[in-house]
Amino acid sequence: MFQGLEHTAIASPNPKRLADWYVAHLEFHINFEYSGNYFVKAQNGSMLEIIPSDGAAGPNEMKTPGIRHLAIAIDDFDAAYAMLQAKGVTFVGEPFANQGNRLAFFADADGNLCHLIHREKPLP
């Protein structure tokens, strides 16, 4: 019955700008839009819906309550990291290894936390 997540929504003060950022920086593409809402889709089929926000943003710290980051799967860590650095992406700390996986945290155009992840072995 339940198939899994179809998309995750992010509220943005400028949805078009944020959608374009995901296209330009993470190889997503805009696959649907309506009334100022944008769906961006990754190569693996995962999607984000970027919707217009209301009001001021709350705190966006690593462990404040709520959704904390978007993990972006990559096949070549060094190339992806170098490409994002060349595009001026703001990284939060240095890349590191954890249980054979390589990670690097960064912020998108609205300051939402994301991270690159290259897994030594896929999760079960």
User: Can you give the pLDDT of all 124 residues of the chain as single tens digits?
Assistant: 998 999 999 999 999 999 999 999 999 999 999 999 999 999 999 999 999 999 887 777 788 777 889 999 999 999 999 999 999 999 999 999 999 999 999 999 999 999 999 999 989 8
Q: Where are the beta strands (DSSP E) in 19-95?
A: 29-34, 37-41, 47-52, 70-73
pTM: 0.92
Partners of 40 in the β-ladder: 30, 48
Give domain limits for the chain.
8-118
- Neighbouring CB atoms inside 10 A of 33's CB total 15
CB 38 within 8 A of CB 52: no
Q: Does domain 8-118 have CATH number 3.10.180.10?
A: yes
Cα separation, 106 vs 70, whole angstroms: 10
